[in-house]
Structure 1
Amino acid sequence: MSRPNVVLTVLDTVRARDTVPASSSPMPTLADVAADGTEFTNAFSPAPWTLPSHASLFTGTYPSQHGAHGDHTYLDDSPRTLAEAFSAAGYETVGVSNNTWVTEEFGFGRGFDTLRKGWQYVQSDTDLGTVTRAEHPMEKLRAAGDRLFDGNPLVNAANLVYDEFAAGDGAERATSWVDSWLSDRDDETPFFCFLNFIEPHAEYRPPREYAEPYLPPDTSYDEATTLRQDPRAYDVGEYALNDREFEALRGLYRGSLAYLDDQLARLRESLVAAGEWEDTVFVALGDHGENIGDHGFFGHQYNLYDTLLHVPMVARGGPFDGGRRDDLVQTLDLAPTLLDAAGIDDPAFERQMHARSLHPDADADPRDAVFAEYLGPQPSPDSLASRFGEVPERVRAFDRSLRAVRTADEKYVTASDGSEWFYRVGADPDETWNRAGDHPERTSLLSDRLDQWVDSFEHAESGGEVSMTDSTKARLSDLGYL
């Protein structure tokens, strides 16, 4: 394979707890890919939510370096992206994103010949999501009247029908688009294809046939799908969920994984039918994880537990032809790995990276620690207060930044308010016992290690938010970010 295609598939919000090892997950296709290629069982995201985790994946840098996080909600033009590197090397670059954060609006379009919004049939700056989110027919009509003539009415009407009636929550549409694109393609140029599949993201709404095998015996599909799924409202105590209800939500989540796996199978079938599968380096990974009642949280904000950072990651094709790697790796390490797999030398990209290639022939030293950052709460406690009124002091405490360093056996987390946590994750993988007070020497050593890492690179600007359209704000609010 001289110039392989590269397909980078992000399984949004898929955590390792339900998928590693892949052979024991609800995802047999993912397990097949892992068996044919390489499964990285200790892969960690450098951030617990979409914007910074994708920016790290695209740039090979940490959030402090690329600057895209809760206090600076876009990727600046200065970091070189993976798509730009592939494009400069002569690759056709296409992508389909089903997450609002990963769009041109937030700085992710650079380098792509095509980056589609998966929820639109005709690509447009006018988003009709406010219409499809309305629950009552009269609300839909009023919203349609308000938005239909914002821009091109014909395009808006087409997108309204597509977003309202097309099957699935993005994955089915994305795989169908890629299948059509591959079928029509007669170019011998290799391609870089990026996909973001958002199905496991709350709200968990898998089709009945996928969910029912994973629901508790005493919980029906109808009962499970009527449970309220509003992580931010849960955070502020507007409603509560008991253990039985969280177990039902975990069943829906695993059903979403099973549904997503079938879409991965369709994607593989499309590559096979197009004659491209054997010439493709195929990667699937989670961008971050999820708390589903874990540690008292719902969603993926306000903490750096392994439930949010430990993710599945598999690669197949090219040099990834079998085996399993249990050493510590970061998802941002994929950037130099994929460039190495494609034989691309990009000095500008290499200069900015704080990543290590996972290519079997790379001479990078293995990691003895991984790092993560949560540089600004998203949404902030003030934003929560504007939506819900006064919020509990527990939630006010979330107004802080967090950083973590994790070795194979230990983990240290520190907050900008002076709080710190030390876990023996080898013996306490669920991070239930904070031993910082009992082990001051180990805590201090890891704190110093984290400080040295923070001081080892130049930091980006820390403030600034992108100007969003109302429909973008509404879509991100639906996803629990605003």
Structure 2
Amino acid sequence: MVPSKNPTDASRPRNVLVVCLDTVRADFFAEYAKRLQRLADVSFTQCRAASSWTVPSHASLFTGKLPSEHGVHTHNRRFDSIDREETFLTDLDGYTTFGVSANAFVSPTYGFDSWLDELSTIEPKHRYPEATSLNEVGQRTDATGGTKYIEYLKRAVKHDHPVLSLKNTAFGFLHETTKTGPIRKQVDDGASAVVRSAEQHIEDASVPFFGFCNLMDAHTPLHPCQWFDSSLQQVPNSWSSSQYDVWELMDESERHDEYWHLREQVYGATIEYMDRVLTDFAHRVLDSAPNTTIVVTADHGENHGREADDFLANHKSSLSEGLLHVPLLLINPPDGYESVEDEYVSHLDLGDLVLGLANGETPDVFRDRLPAELVGMSAGPEPPSNQEYWDRMIRCVYDGATKTVWDSLENRTEYELDRDRLSWQEKVETDEGTPTGESEFFDTTIGEAKTAAKDEKTDEAAVDSATESRLKELGYL
């Protein structure tokens, strides 16, 4: 349907809060996030991300452009290479903008704060961003061992938030010491801290406001946690998804079936936990700021070594449905959409959606055909072999029940899709060469775009010790 404008809601600006569930694919969300789905007024069941890992996907969310157009991707991970005026935020006149992120890439280190009025960063060892932490003190002193702890305690006591500073260390200690057993991990990976910080921003914000939250709990490494529903994870307390690195999981001679069986349990339990946290959060937000629309989506999904994932793992070098098919829900929007919308929607149109919602409208963001793109394999350790293949550029176009995927090595594959099978695809044909319709969606050929991206590669951001530690934990260093 072509949605209509609601004149009642259009009479005043609405607050818009976008919640991004990092690394959550559509099929697992449908199975494990039941509360959010019941709370939502609108579900776009055929939403597709514009890319398949954090950095390019976030840049596309905010600019409405493909990675080869906005230039933020594997070879340039800096968001501040894009001016704020190139994002939809510049059209939110009079809005206060804030973000809360548990993602080490979606942080000031990589320039994401340049787009927002305020950005709070959360990590397992620093859950209260307004306070200090052992990580933060460690960046400012050369002290080691017991001397470092004494220095931290001095600074914590003198800090404006001494109790919260001490709590940061307590949570960091619990995170570090319980994530590999013998008891289940005692703290989450930041979901509770993200929503707490977002509520503080909402309380402090002048209205209207735009907020953006990134929750990283579903990202590897995954561990059993005491806050998860125990009926969903029959997994040893000491189990960790990091027992294999991504390249071991890509080894076609090994399927790691038992590993994937356990990992999917923890992944599902993680999503169910975030579902509980976010449902309660949404109720509190709407109680305090009833003129708010909450948008729930994911920047990308995750491959789980299934046949429909081409037996690939995580989110490396792929544009599978496990990666691109993501949830998109609206809670408390203006009237105009059906409760279930099953036409294609692209993250490239998120800006139009947010701006429409802010104006009390339900814009037509539906497409018959849409593209997605990956420039390089994503951040992380180099592959043990075949670097050129894993670092190739990949493009795809959706057209009805068909998805055509091609790469810079001139491989082309056609997949069959099924609207009733979320995050699923089946290979039906392989060939060589680029589709004749490439120019309909892309300004340059795939070969030219890949060469240009590598030639324009920027220097890596200066990474502080805390960010470096977190990126290592996430498998990116």
Matching residue within 406, 430, 433 for 2:427: 433
Distance 1:292 1:147, change over 3 A: farther
Matching residue within 318, 323, 326 for 2:333: 318
Q: Is the counterpart of residue 262 in structure 1 residue 268 in structure 2? A: no
CA shift, 1:432, in A, is 4.0
How large is the RMSD of aligned CA atoms in angstroms?
Answer: 3.6
CA distance in 2, matches of 1:256, 1:64: 33
Matching residue within 374, 397, 415 for 1:405: 397
| 1:117 partner letter | T
1:8-27 paired onto structure 2 within 5 Å: 8-20=18-30, 25-27=31-33
Matching residue within 347, 357, 375 for 1:331: 347
Q: Is the counterpart of residue 128 in structure 1 residue 135 in structure 2? A: yes
Q: Is the 8 A contact 1:205 1:256 kept in 2?
A: no
- Percent identity of paired positions between Structure 1 and Structure 2: 25
Q: Equivalent residue for 1:213?
A: 231
1:43-82 paired onto structure 2 within 5 Å: 43-75=47-79, 76-78=81-83, 80=85, 82=87
CA distance in 1, matches of 2:107, 2:88: 13
Deviations 1:310-335 (A, max 9, x none): 00001122325642111111123111
CA distance in 2, matches of 1:422, 1:122: 46
Where 1:110 maps in the other structure, the secondary structure is helix
| 2:415 partner letter | Y
CA distance in 1, matches of 2:334, 2:399: 27
Deviations 1:419-477 (A, max 9, x none): 2211222499743434034xx8xx87xx1222332128998964214323242233222
Q: Is the counterpart of residue 99 in structure 1 residue 103 in structure 2? A: yes
| 1:70 partner letter | T
Q: Equivalent residue for 1:190?
A: 208
Deviations 1:336-357 (A, max 9, x none): 111122239xxxxxxxxxxxxx
CA distance in 1, matches of 2:324, 2:90: 27
Q: Equivalent residue for 1:280?
A: 292
CA distance in 2, matches of 1:314, 1:234: 35
Deviations 1:117-143 (A, max 9, x none): 012324599982998xxxxxxxxx957
Where 2:437 maps in the other structure, the secondary structure is helix
CA shift, 1:308, in A, is 0.4
What are the ranges of 5 or more consecutive residues in structure 2 without an aligned counterpart?
Answer: 1-8, 176-186
CA shift, 1:54, in A, is 0.8
CA shift, 1:79, in A, is 5.4
What are the ranges of 5 or more consecutive residues in structure 1 without an aligned counterpart?
Answer: 132-140, 345-358, 386-390
Q: Equivalent residue for 2:191?
A: 171
Q: Is the 8 A contact 1:212 1:221 kept in 2?
A: no
Q: Is the 8 A contact 2:224 2:235 kept in 1?
A: no
Q: Is the 8 A contact 1:402 1:416 kept in 2?
A: yes
| 2:135 partner letter | L
Q: Equivalent residue for 2:182?
A: none
| 1:89 partner letter | D
Distance 1:211 1:408, change over 3 A: farther
Q: Equivalent residue for 2:180?
A: none
| 1:474 partner letter | S
Matching residue within 7, 12, 36 for 2:17: 7
Deviations 1:48-103 (A, max 9, x none): 001111111112221112111001111213353657426x6111212110001111
Q: Which has the higher strand share?
A: 2
Deviation larger for 221-230 or 7-16: 221-230
Distance 1:453 1:43, change over 3 A: same
Q: Is the 8 A contact 1:232 1:384 kept in 2?
A: no
Distance 1:42 1:415, change over 3 A: same
Distance 1:148 1:481, change over 3 A: farther
Deviations 1:232-285 (A, max 9, x none): 3524659966212211110110000010011112211321332x13x1111000
CA distance in 1, matches of 2:218, 2:279: 16
TM-score by length of 1: 0.78
CA shift, 1:208, in A, is 4.1
CA distance in 2, matches of 1:57, 1:18: 22
Q: Is the counterpart of residue 243 in structure 1 residue 231 in structure 2? A: no
Where 2:114 maps in the other structure, the secondary structure is coil
CA distance in 1, matches of 2:267, 2:373: 25
Q: Is the counterpart of residue 450 in structure 1 residue 455 in structure 2? A: no
Q: Equivalent residue for 1:342?
A: 358
CA distance in 1, matches of 2:440, 2:88: 31
CA distance in 1, matches of 2:194, 2:368: 37
Where 1:384 maps in the other structure, the secondary structure is coil
Distance 1:333 1:109, change over 3 A: same
TM-score by length of 2: 0.79
Distance 1:145 1:316, change over 3 A: same
CA shift, 1:199, in A, is 0.8
Distance 1:226 1:318, change over 3 A: closer
| 1:326 partner letter | D
| 1:232 partner letter | V
Number of residue pairs aligned between Structure 1 and Structure 2: 427
Distance 1:147 1:206, change over 3 A: same
CA shift, 1:32, in A, is 1.8
Q: Is the 8 A contact 1:211 1:254 kept in 2?
A: no
Q: Equivalent residue for 1:116?
A: 120
Deviation larger for 463-472 or 117-126: 117-126
Q: Is the 8 A contact 2:223 2:241 kept in 1?
A: no
| 2:390 partner letter | F
| 2:333 partner letter | G
Where 2:430 maps in the other structure, the secondary structure is coil
Q: Equivalent residue for 1:347?
A: none
Q: Equivalent residue for 1:305?
A: 320
Where 1:433 maps in the other structure, the secondary structure is strand
Q: Equivalent residue for 2:457?
A: 463
| 2:117 partner letter | D
Q: Is the 8 A contact 1:130 1:143 kept in 2?
A: no
